[in-house]
Chains A and B, each alone.
Chain A
Amino acid sequence: MAVTAETRVGGAAAPVAAARRSRRASAPRTGRRSRPLTAYLFLAPYLILFLGFIVAPAVFGIWISLHDYDFVLPFKPWVGLANYVDLFTPGSRDFADFWQSMGATGIFTGLSVPCLVVLPLGIAVLLNRKFPGRTFFRAVFFLPYVLGVAVIGLLFRYLLDPNVGVVNYLLGSSIPWTTDLPWVWVSLVGMTVWWTLGFNATIYLAGLTDIPRELYEAAEMDGANRGQQFWNVTLPGLRPVLVFVVTTTILASANMFGQQLLLTHGAPGTSTRTVIGYIATEGLGSFRMGAAAAMSYVLAVALLILSLIIFRVFRDRQDES
């Protein structure tokens, strides 16, 4: 027991108490010992925010969803699971509107995700070579993404104006981009793709850069043509990045709100009102917070299941290869 680290290290410096103390504190890399209090003090400012605005609301939201919770009324009666049951009961107050808005979000997600998975990959492949101004073009494609949905919404409302918009002028058409089906979907998807494509392209590009060049050389020696190289080297090399892009794009699309508020106002009728739009207007516009909270949990669970399915699909593919 008497043979401590310090005495073993060397006689010369050993007797100095201060050196001993500091060495003892720093020596064991595994147990970088410090009083737990120090760690808690470092954590405290963030943990207050985390508990107050993430953990507490996540739990409080469940509580709200079990009540007929109207913000402006003094009495908020307990209703148990009624808010959830209503969402699955045809003819209830929210049933038709909620599922219509879920459908709208589904249509938007189904249309935008394939575009936002494939087109950015094309851009990334295009940019994945050395040429003068590469960084500049990468920045150009990323540029719209740094602007908020409010700017993009106002801009496209003007570009897509049926009467004076430049898009109809260039096409020589008079398409009702912001008021009629199916054009509203083309507009919403098109503006979203234009806005966020650079984000996915950037992630793909980082993934492409990580694919070792030797793999392409080997494939070429085996006589693989360009297309075969893309399918057999590029895509498998991008698998983890692809999972990330697909999942985050689905989540982002399922969160769509600003585009429909600014561009179509849900038109025609309420057919482009997304589920986030419905939750927000019912919960924060009409203050039906119990019902709105229940809807947000149903949506969250739906998205969770969807993400798990995607992970499983990609994992199974990996097992095959």
Chain B
Amino acid sequence: MSTAALPASSTTAQGSDDNLEPQRHGHGPRSSPLSRVTFVVLLVVLTAVFVGPLLWMFLTSFKTPDGATSIPPQLFPHPATADGYRPLVDTGSQTPVIRWFVNSLLAGVANSVIVTATAALAAYALARLDFPGKKIVFAMIIATLFVPGFVFLIPNYLIVNSLGWLDTLWAVIVPSAGGAFGVFFLRQFFSSLPMELEEAAEIDGANRWQTFVRVVLPLSKPGLSTLLVLSFLTNYNDFLWPVFVLFSPSNLTLPAGLSILQGAFTINYPVVMAGAVIASVPAIVLFILAQRNIVEGVARSGLKG
């Protein structure tokens, strides 16, 4: 659907575009093949397609089981009820969603802090220090970026088991912190910093550690926060691994728990949607707060690759 290649919706549109040209056109071609009306209609339809299902999920979570399955469907809950959320806040049940929520937040925060801290230290060494074996270490780390994650699935299960971490949050916090993305990402960031400030600090007598903590880290706040947010989301949303390494109802993270919730409440859709809503809230809030970090982090990872 290459919109730009469409045989321009109409010549009149192009003509009118040219008049408004300076303010209206940013980065791309000078005038647009789509008339203003087509453009707005497209945007509205696409927005409905992307936001509609999420809105539907939210509205359904406040319906009664009958209301959620009525034909024709109810748009707004009638009667509105929070009953769908009741089984989820009961920590004694087989589906203690509130418990999974806490587990997921704990695991996500712990994992993203470990990823960012260890990656920052290593990336600084790789960006700024010289040491024997540097090239080999860096090449190895980069090489693993190209190894698909499923290769580690079976052996890491056995490693985690021998550490006694099966069915504990450690299993979802620690192993994925070995991934190379954070080091790669922060090394790029550190390398792009001007060297002069670090040199000035060293002339003032700062040692490596002081330079790193007082100069490099404060300058790298955008990069560090982007990595924190991205690794939190990755961990928070991870599905395959937690499904297999966590089993007790009280130890699950949300993604693993939600698949159990789906099995337990099959067509009690308000309960299932309430679980999905609870799981969505932290991700959506984080996205609203850190939208620029997330979108630009993703965009940059694409350009570098």
Chain A residues within 8 Å of B, Cβ to Cβ: 18-19, 22-23, 25-26, 29, 31-34, 36, 38-40, 42-43, 45-47, 49-58, 60-61, 64, 71, 118-119, 121-123, 125-126, 128-131, 134-135, 137-144, 146-151, 153-159, 161, 163-164, 166, 169, 194, 198-199, 202-203, 205-211, 213, 216-217, 220, 225-227, 229-231, 233-234, 240-241, 244-245, 248, 251, 254-255, 257-258, 261-262, 276, 279-280, 283-285, 289, 292-293, 296-297, 299-300, 303-304, 307
Q: What residue of chain B has the Cβ atom nearest to residue A141's Cβ?
A: B50
* Bound complex: CA A280 to CA B259 (Å): 16
* Bound complex: CA A99 to CA B272 (Å): 34
Instruction: Give 5 pairs: A residue, B residue, CB < 8 Å, sorted on A.
Output: A57-B159, A131-B39, A150-B276, A153-B259, A206-B300
Apart from A194-B49, A206-B300, 18 more pairs, CB < 8 Å: A49-B118, A49-B178, A53-B177, A125-B28, A131-B24, A143-B54, A147-B279, A150-B239, A150-B256, A164-B70, A164-B71, A198-B50, A216-B30, A220-B29, A226-B33, A227-B4, A233-B29, A254-B148
- Among B159, B174, B195, B303, which residue has its beta carbon within 8 angstroms of that of A206? B303
Whether B158 and A289, one on each chain, are in contact in the complex, defined by CB atoms closer than 8 angstroms, is yes
* Bound complex: CA A248 to CA B146 (Å): 10
Taking A58-B151, A194-B50 as contacts, is the C-beta distance between A226 and B29 under 8 angstroms? yes
* Bound complex: CA A159 to CA B161 (Å): 38
Q: At the interface, yes or no: B37 with Cβ under 8 Å from chain A?
A: no
* Bound complex: CA A33 to CA B243 (Å): 47
Taking A61-B152, A146-B286, A146-B287 as contacts, is the C-beta distance between A154 and B258 under 8 angstroms? yes
Provide the B239-279 mask, 1 if CB < 8 A to any CB of A, else 0: 11001100000000011101101100001010011011001
A25 CB to nearest B CB, Å: 6
Whether A43 and B125, one on each chain, are in contact in the complex, defined by CB atoms closer than 8 angstroms, is yes
Q: At the interface, yes or no: B10 with Cβ under 8 Å from chain A?
A: no
Whether B50 and A151, one on each chain, are in contact in the complex, defined by CB atoms closer than 8 angstroms, is no
* Bound complex: CA A292 to CA B159 (Å): 16
Q: At the interface, yes or no: B27 with Cβ under 8 Å from chain A?
A: yes
- Among A45, A121, A255, which residue has its beta carbon within 8 angstroms of that of B150? A255
Whether B43 and A137, one on each chain, are in contact in the complex, defined by CB atoms closer than 8 angstroms, is yes
Which of A31, A121, A206, A225 has the largest count of B CB atoms less than 10 A from its CB? A206
Whether A39 and B129, one on each chain, are in contact in the complex, defined by CB atoms closer than 8 angstroms, is yes
Whether B155 and A293, one on each chain, are in contact in the complex, defined by CB atoms closer than 8 angstroms, is yes
Whether B284 and A143, one on each chain, are in contact in the complex, defined by CB atoms closer than 8 angstroms, is yes
- Among A60, A139, A147, A213, which residue has its beta carbon within 8 angstroms of that of B237? A147
Q: At the interface, yes or no: B302 with Cβ under 8 Å from chain A?
A: yes
B: number of interface residues (CB 8 Å): 124
Q: At the interface, yes or no: B112 with Cβ under 8 Å from chain A?
A: no
Taking A42-B121, A300-B151 as contacts, is the C-beta distance between A144 and B158 under 8 angstroms? no
Whether B302 and A148, one on each chain, are in contact in the complex, defined by CB atoms closer than 8 angstroms, is no
- Among A23, A151, A211, A299, which residue has its beta carbon within 8 angstroms of that of B280? A151
* Bound complex: CA A40 to CA B122 (Å): 9
Residues of A within 8 A of B130 (CB): 31-34, 36, 39
Residues of A within 8 A of B117 (CB): 45
A144 CB to nearest B CB, Å: 6
Residues of A within 8 A of B49 (CB): 194
Q: At the interface, yes or no: B236 with Cβ under 8 Å from chain A?
A: yes
* Bound complex: CA A241 to CA B302 (Å): 7
Q: At the interface, yes or no: B3 with Cβ under 8 Å from chain A?
A: yes
Whether A42 and B302, one on each chain, are in contact in the complex, defined by CB atoms closer than 8 angstroms, is no
Whether A146 and B30, one on each chain, are in contact in the complex, defined by CB atoms closer than 8 angstroms, is no
Whether A130 and B154, one on each chain, are in contact in the complex, defined by CB atoms closer than 8 angstroms, is no
Residues of B within 8 A of A36 (CB): 130-132
Q: At the interface, yes or no: B153 with Cβ under 8 Å from chain A?
A: yes
Whether A169 and B159, one on each chain, are in contact in the complex, defined by CB atoms closer than 8 angstroms, is no
* Bound complex: CA A211 to CA B239 (Å): 37
- Among A53, A149, A155, A213, which residue has its beta carbon within 8 angstroms of that of B27? A213
Residues of A within 8 A of B154 (CB): 61, 64, 279, 283-284, 289, 292-293, 296
Q: What residue of chain A has the Cβ atom nearest to residue B134's Cβ?
A: A39
Residues of A within 8 A of B8 (CB): 225-226
* Bound complex: CA A302 to CA B289 (Å): 40
A30 CB to nearest B CB, Å: 9
* Bound complex: CA A29 to CA B195 (Å): 9
* Bound complex: CA A47 to CA B144 (Å): 13
Taking A194-B49, A207-B302, A303-B148 as contacts, is the C-beta distance between A43 and B155 under 8 angstroms? no
Provide the B106-129 mask, 1 if CB < 8 A to any CB of A, else 0: 000000001001110110111011
Q: What residue of chain A has the Cβ atom nearest to residue B255's Cβ?
A: A150
Residues of A within 8 A of B56 (CB): 155, 159, 166
Q: At the interface, yes or no: B91 with Cβ under 8 Å from chain A?
A: no
Whether B129 and A38, one on each chain, are in contact in the complex, defined by CB atoms closer than 8 angstroms, is yes
- Among B29, B32, B294, which residue has its beta carbon within 8 angstroms of that of A146? B294
Whether A49 and B174, one on each chain, are in contact in the complex, defined by CB atoms closer than 8 angstroms, is yes
Whether B23 and A146, one on each chain, are in contact in the complex, defined by CB atoms closer than 8 angstroms, is no
Taking A45-B121, A203-B302 as contacts, is the C-beta distance between A220 and B28 under 8 angstroms? no
Whether B208 and A34, one on each chain, are in contact in the complex, defined by CB atoms closer than 8 angstroms, is yes
